[in-house]
A = this chain, B = another copy of it.
Amino acid sequence: METKQSDMMGGLAKGLRVIEAFTVETPRLSISEASAIAGLDRATTRRCLLTLAEHGYCAYDGKYFTVTPRVLRLGTGCLATMPLPRIVQPWLDALSEEIGQSTSVAILDEAEIVYVARAAQRKVMSIALMPGSRLPAYCTSMGRVLLAALPAETARNRLLAAPLPQRTPRTITEIDRLMSALERVRTEGYAVVDEEVELGLRSIAVPIVNARGATVAALNTGFPASSETMEKAQERFLDPLLHVRQELFRILN
């Protein structure tokens, strides 16, 4: 079934690459810029952009293209599709209330985690997180939990294919140390990350497992780093997290 050349539509694949060229760093693109980012011929890129504009996915001022809210229809089909956010939200709210910290649920997309639900408390992080937000998996507690659920070789390949910037002095960036961390997550059943994403931010994550035993998402809490040792923090937060994990396990199919 794979790679049946005759059943592939080049134009569609190219158009999607062009849409993905629009990021937070490059929200406005000329034809040349878009073609450079997407790695396509300028003529082709131009035709993609004009098609997107014609159908309302892009706005065109004669020089620059920008994506419109219409493209959200493409993506939110997925988020809206998922029953998970709706199911977990009440537990997230209750857990957040109980432990007095922000809690979130995320899934994995390649080497990134995607937030699908969140109960925010105080603001610890400099960046605002919301459903749909993405963070790299290698340096986040939920990312470690989700990568640990994959076969080791798959996880390694994904990490090797992604950039692993040293976001803070404590960020682990060596592939072997990351793989060891994943191994530890597998045996302990949870992941702890101490100021590897951002200075001042700690987090603990546990897997959300469905009835078939597959890890479908991760649940975490993020809290400010303090003089308290990570072990002490773990004592406070791990049990409530595991309890919600257990409740969700009972419910998910």
Contacts and interface: CB of A to CB of B under 8 A. Distances in A.
A70 interface: yes
Contacts of A108: 69
Contact of A51 (B12, B76, B79, B93): B12
A72 B13 contact: no
A247 interface: no
Contacts of A51: 7-9, 12-13
Copies of the protein in its oligomer:
2
Contacts of A107: 69
Number of chain A interface residues as a range? 35 or more
A72 B16 contact: no
B67 A78 contact: yes
Given A13-B51, A70-B109, A86-B128, 9 more contacts: A7-B51, A8-B50, A9-B47, A13-B55, A16-B74, A68-B78, A71-B74, A72-B78, A85-B128
26 contacts: A8-B51, A9-B11, A9-B14, A9-B15, A9-B47, A9-B48, A10-B11, A13-B51, A16-B55, A19-B77, A20-B74, A24-B77, A67-B78, A67-B81, A69-B114, A71-B77, A72-B75, A73-B109, A74-B74, A75-B75, A76-B134, A80-B132, A85-B128, A85-B130, A117-B130, A130-B130
